[in-house]
Structures are given as C-alpha cells and as structure tokens.
A and B are shown apart, each in its own frame.
Chain A
Amino acid sequence: MIKKISAIAAAAVMAATMSIAAYATTYEDAVKAAKEAGVQSNNVQELDNFLQVHKDCFTSAQYDEMIADLNNIRDTYVAPYCKGGAKQVIDKTPAELTEADKIAVGKNWTEDEKKAICDDLIALGKRYDVVVTITNVDKAHYAVAAEHKHSGDSSNNSNSSSKKDSSSSSKAAGGTTTKSDNPVADTGAEAETSNTAAAVAAVALAAAGLGVVVMAKKNRA
C-alpha cells in the first residue's frame, strides 16, 4: 500500500515538474504582468497591441525577463503606495487599482521616480532591439510607443507559429505599428498654421511699432 502511494506521489511530482518545464511564457503573460503592476489600461493595451504583432520576435526567456522587470517596477514604485506599503495611500493591491487609483499613486511620484520608470522601460526595450518612446500626454498620463525592426537575430525564437510569420520576421525592413498618440485626439480643424501666423504677426507688429516710435523721435530731434 505504501509502495502504491509513493509511486502515485512520485508520478504526480514528475507530472508537475514536466508541466512546469513544458510551460513557455507567452506575450499574454507579459501583458498580464503589466496589468497587475498597476500600469494604466491604455498603456497595457498599447503593449498588448505591440506584442500581438511581434509575439514571435521574443523567446520565452525574454518574456520572463520582461515580466521580472515589470514586477520590479511594481515592487519599487507602485507597491509602496498600495495596501501594506510603507507610504500607503490606497487600500488595494497594485492589481486591484482602478484608473483613478493609478493616477493617485502616480501623483506621489517624484520627477526622479518618473524618470527612473521611463528610463527602465526604454532600457528594457533596448535589450531586445525595440525603440521605446514615452511621451507625457498630461500630468497624469503617458503614451508609450514601441518600434521593432524585424531582424534575423531577434526573431530567432522558440515559439514561432507559422512559416509565414518566420519568413516575414527574417526581413530587416519594417515600420512602427504603434506611436505615442494622445488618448483623445484633436478632431477639430488644424489650427497650428494660423496660430503660427498670428504669433509672427504679433512680433512683426511690435517690431514695426517700435520702428515707428524710433523714427518719430529721431524726426522730432
């Protein structure tokens, strides 16, 4: 009986070990890690969109590395302001934060901390030949864009899904799929040109006015 139990236990342990070994981290896991780190939902979607297109360009180990980096950001910059943290402002875990909570946490960050997070993400991208651009949309929001040129080196991966995918990723040509767009775009008429014209006119008016005054003074003298 004991032999039978130990054999079953050994089989169960072996099966569990094998399933762990067979489990490959995917882009969905990286997106989930970003969500749970308290990243704003539009930025999570931007990451999701980027990784959906380039999912075959990264290996399982690279996804693990990305997740470790996102977890580190969560633990260093988000968790201290959440439930049980040293500077708690919100009684929730990072994964439970609403969009308003995320903004409240972000308001507590110093400029140095904000810069450190941006630098960290840019450096993370650089490791995988991805150009990450972070634009400050307003005091509380950022837009994140990533550009990855398909190259033979970085697409050398284990989870390539189809022939078509691997052939397309072996070319060096590419383009950007995401760009730092404002979440709410300007959808009225383009006013930039007229604003520039008005500014130039104001400067010209001031200069001409000054010229007239100088001339008048000289004439009087």
Chain B
Amino acid sequence: MSKAFSSKGSGEHTHKHGTSSSKVLRTFTYVLTPFLVLIVLCSLAVLVLHKPYKEYKPYLDVAFGATPMEVRNLRTLNKYKDDDAPDQIKEIEVEVNGKQEKHTIVYPYYGDFYATINCEAAGMKDIPVYSGTANDVLEYGAGWYNGSVYIGRPGNVVIAGHNHKDFYNLPKCEIGDIVTLETVYCKCTYIVNDRVVFHEKDYTYVYPTDDDRLTMYTCWNNGKLGMSEYRLAIICKLEDIEWKEVKTEE
C-alpha cells in the first residue's frame, strides 16, 4: 500500500514538473517566435533588396539629392586642415612661349575647394573640384588626384568624379569640345581629344605625362550609373593658360 502510494506520489510529482516546464516553454515560444520570424523576414528582405538597392541608389541620389551628414559638415569645415592653417601661396617660374615668367600659385590643402570645371557642350556647368579623391571628398564634388600635377603646372592633371553626381554629364563630352578649369590663380582651357575606357587597375591614364593635359574620369557601366571596375576617361589637350593676379592679405 505504502509502496503503491509512494509510486503514485512520485508520478504526480513528475507530471506536475512536466506541466510547469512545458508552460514556460510554450510562453517562451509564443513570445519569441514572432520576433524570430520578424528577424528572418527582415533579413531576407534586406538581402533580396541589397542588389537592386545598389543598382538604383545612384538614381535615388540623383532624384532626391541625398547628402550624408558628415559631408554636409565638410562643406563648411575641412577636417584635413587646422582652421587657422596658413594659405600656401608661392611664386613659381613658368615657361610661356619660350620665356620664363613669374606667377603665383595657391596650393590647396587636402579637402580644400580647388577649382571649377565647365564644358558647355556637355552640359557641365561650374562643377566644383576639391583637392583629393577620397570617398568623403568625392561626395561633395569632383576630386583632383594628388598624384597628378597641380593645375597650371606642366603634365597630367587628373580629376575624378561620381557618375551619378558631378560627372553625370561627362560621357556627353565629345572630341573637340572646349573644357575650362579655373582656380583662384589661373584659368586653363582645354580641348577634348580622346575618350578611353580603362580598367581600374590600369594606371596608364593617371600617371604623369610629358604633354600638358587634363584627364577627367568616372565609373563606366555601359551608360548605366553606379559602381564599375571600368572608368571612362576624357582626355583633353591644353590650349591656353591665363594666369591671374592673386590677391593676398598682407
């Protein structure tokens, strides 16, 4: 009797324990499952939309003009230099028609506004050029590559720009078009004389050259916007340089 009682008691205990444990598990399941399903659905949505988003982001940027906050800050403050950094103004000697002339050049700090590009025929109007080609610099204008010569100096001036922003109209540049590049110290006039598509690992077109030229390039995606491993370069021959008088604060 006592044996039967004892075994019954033990069975009841097991049953009671099983019930409370499954209650906890059921509650846990009820609460957690919707969250897990939501996470799974959201993650799937992000993964499925990732590729189309990458493809259409430049178009969205063109339509809505998205500008990240850090870029907006950069417009007013150049993070690459101290606020009270001195102007870098130097006198240089340049050869003009076989004669040595003295002119003044204002060297930009990295991230500084440096020049404007105009190519009326291609619809490029007052495109701002900043010094440097880092991602944050290219977000707010075209960028002058600091492994190329300073504007106005003999050699290859290389300028890069996004195909969905400042260099949106670059593919419209045709051979013979006039391009002007203007800084505070000089205005250079070029004529487009070549269009080339090159791979991003081919540095031939951004290397220094013996002739005076301007190379502007952007991503080339067979006419579509967005990233590509190919670049379209518009190569222009220097026609004229007009040196300006640089006003300095004494």
Q: What is the interface of chain A, defined by CB distance below 8 A to chain B?
A: 41-46, 48-49, 52-53, 55, 99, 138, 141, 143, 145, 150, 161-162, 164-165, 167-169, 171, 173-179, 181-192, 194, 197-198, 200-202, 204-205, 207-209, 211-212, 215, 218-219
Contact = CB atoms under 8 A, between A and B. Distances in A.
Contacts of B160: 184-185, 187
Contact of B206 (A164, A184, A215): A184
B29 A182 contact: no
Contacts of B121: none
B148 interface: yes
Most chain B CB inside 10 Å of its own CB: which residue of A99, A177, A212, A218: A177
A42 B227 contact: no
A187 B217 contact: yes
Contacts of B85: 171, 173-175
A63 to B, nearest CB: 17
Interface residues of B, number: 75
A165 B25 CA distance: 78
Given A189-B162, A197-B50, A211-B36, A177 B227 contact: no
A176 B110 CA distance: 6
Contact of A46 (B42, B61, B147): B147
Given A53-B90, A189-B225, A215 B46 contact: no
B155 to A, nearest CB: 8
Contacts of A207: 39
Most chain B CB inside 10 Å of its own CB: which residue of A173, A187, A215: A187
Nearest to B61: A189
Interface string B35-77: 0110110111011001001100110010000000000000000
B243 interface: no
Given A42-B203, A177-B88, A179-B134, A187 B231 contact: yes
B50 A164 contact: no
A191 B147 contact: no
B200 A184 contact: yes
Most chain B CB inside 10 Å of its own CB: which residue of A143, A175, A188, A205: A188
Q: Is the interface of A mostly helix, strand, loop or mixed?
A: helix
B173 to A, nearest CB: 15
A168 B89 contact: yes
Contact of B219 (A46, A178, A187, A202): A187
Interface of B: 25, 29, 32-33, 36-37, 39-40, 42-44, 46-47, 50, 53-54, 57-58, 61, 78, 80-91, 107-110, 131-135, 138-139, 143, 145-150, 155, 160-164, 167, 200-204, 206-208, 217-219, 221, 225-228, 231, 248
Contacts of B109: 175-177
A192 B83 CA distance: 29
Contacts of A191: 54, 57, 227
21 contacts: A49-B146, A138-B201, A162-B91, A173-B86, A175-B85, A177-B110, A177-B146, A179-B132, A181-B146, A183-B207, A186-B227, A187-B160, A188-B221, A188-B225, A191-B54, A194-B54, A205-B43, A205-B44, A208-B36, A215-B32, A218-B25
Contacts of B207: 41-42, 99, 183
B145 A185 contact: yes
A208 B34 CA distance: 11
A212 B133 contact: no
A175 B78 contact: yes
Contacts of A53: 88, 90, 107
Given A42-B207, A46-B146, A218-B25, A198 B47 contact: yes
A112 to B, nearest CB: 26
Contact of B43 (A189, A208, A219): A208
